[in-house]
Amino acid sequence: MVSFITVDYNGFEATCALLRSIQEHITSCQWEVIVVDNASKADEAARIKECFPWAVTIRSEKNLGFAGGNNLGIKEAKGDFLFFVNNDTEFMADGVDCLCRVFSDFPDCGMVCPKVKFFNDKSLIQYAGYTPMKQVRMRNDMIGYGKTDDGSYETPGVTSFPHGAAMMVSRKALDNVGLMPECYFLYYEELDWGSHFIRNGWTIRYEPKCTIYHKDSLTTGANSPLKTFYMYRGRQIFAYRNFKGLNRICSIAFTRLFAVPKHAVSGLLHGKPALAKAAVRANVDFIRMCIRKEI
């Protein structure tokens, strides 16, 4: 059985659209759906349960972030495979069974991701795997990003990182690796989690026979202060947790002394002081977390 786990935060309509797409299209396996209402202003867990009585709904009175919300769902999941999907995604066809088969075909696989395409232009790819991350600059690329789905990205294989919008893990690997890291709140937690899978001997794979469509940045905004804060704070947390020695020092220094000031100046020049303030706050909050040993 597959346990679909999704986190809802003031996204009732989007979450309902996701659940309808699962109900309509996923017929190749037994499944359950777990919706975690991450302290939405209204009790959306109750509303979703009224509309979809078959869904398992959980209401958290505190916003636990992406990882914390998903971890609540993990604790309720009964499936052999857990499929984490953003509530701003939809299925247009099945293919979930193809993801499940990857784990039997490749026993060292702990996590597999489908092809992710843009919902608003369904001909364009968002994710067909990830390139390795370059230390210091902490840059990598989503393979196929913004490219037309012309058949060039149909080769499955090992990839460096999962995509947080849609990633399936096996129960066996989850029991070995443990829950998602909750120190990020937003962004980078799936990259950290994926790195932890790899360090424990598991591989991450890309399987294009399953496709999901993503309404990107529906919750946080494409270039919002919220996204800026958590992205730059998350970069530093990721380096602190996953790099060692000089690579760790240089990676954190590059973000703090170059990337953040550059983003802050750009925000000011474009009349967006809130973006500049958010970038600087990311630097300050990372130090606070280090002092309090929250990382």
Region 160-176 average pLDDT:
98
For residue 284, what is the enclosing H or E element?
Answer: helix 273-291
The C-alpha angle with vertex 233 and arms to 190 and 263, in degrees rounded to 5, equals 115
pLDDT for residue 217: 59
Question: What value does the mean pLDDT of the chain take?
Answer: 96
pLDDT of residue 223: 76
E-assigned strand segments in 64-219: 81-85, 89-90, 109-118, 125-127, 157-159, 166-170, 203-214
% of the chain at pLDDT higher than 70: 98
**pLDDT band at residue 105, thresholds of 50, 70 and 90?**
very high
Q: Tokens 């709904």 — which residue?
A: 57
Q: State mean pLDDT over 183-206.
A: 97
Q: Which amino acid is at 233?
A: R
Cβ atoms of 47 and 69 within 8 Å: the answer is: no
- In sequence order, the β-bridge partners of residue 125 are 117
Identify the band that residue 241 occupies on the pLDDT scale cut at 50, 70 and 90. very high
pLDDT tens profile 150-167: 999 999 999 999 999 999
**For residue 133, what is the DSSP state?**
P
In terms of Cα–Cα distance, which of 115, 111, 122 is closest to 95?
115
**Cβ pair 57, 48 in contact under 8 A:** yes
Instruction: Give me the pLDDT at residue 135, please.
Output: 87
Q: What is the mean pLDDT of residues 79-89?
A: 98
The amino acid that residue 83 corresponds to is F
**Does residue 220 have a pLDDT over 60?**
no
Q: What is the pTM of this model?
A: 0.94
CA neighbours closer than 13 Å in the CB half-sphere of residue 53: 0
d(CA 63, CA 30): 30
Give 20-53 pLDDT, tens digit per residue.
999 999 999 999 999 999 999 999 999 999 999 9
The phi and psi torsions of 180 (rounded to 5 degrees) equal -65, 145
CA–CA separation, 93 and 10 (whole Å): 26
pLDDT score at 189: 97
CA distance 241 to 231: 15
Judge whether residue 83 has pLDDT over 90: yes
DSSP 37: E
> Looking at this protein, which amino acid is placed at residue 218?
L
Contact 205, 157 (CB under 8 A): yes
Q: Which residues pair with 134 in a beta bridge?
A: 139
Q: Name which of 145, 146, 197, 139 is nearest 167 in CA terms.
A: 197
- pLDDT of 246 > 80? The answer is yes
- Judge whether residue 216 has pLDDT over 90: no
Residue 136: closest CA among 283, 18, 254: 254
Q: Residue 36's pLDDT is what?
A: 98
Question: How many angstroms separate the CA atoms of 113 and 165, rounded?
Answer: 9
pLDDT in tens, 108-146: 999 999 999 999 999 999 999 999 999 899 999 999 999
Work out the pLDDT band at 219, boundaries 50, 70, 90. low
In the chain, the DSSP E strands lie at: 2-8, 31-38, 56-60, 81-85, 89-90, 109-118, 125-127, 157-159, 166-170, 203-214
- What was the pLDDT predicted at 282? 98
Residue of 171, 24, 156, 35 whose CA lies nearest to 99? 156
* Residue closest to 228 by CA, chosen among 254, 250, 259, 192: 259
Query: Is the per-residue pLDDT at 221 higher than 70?
Result: no
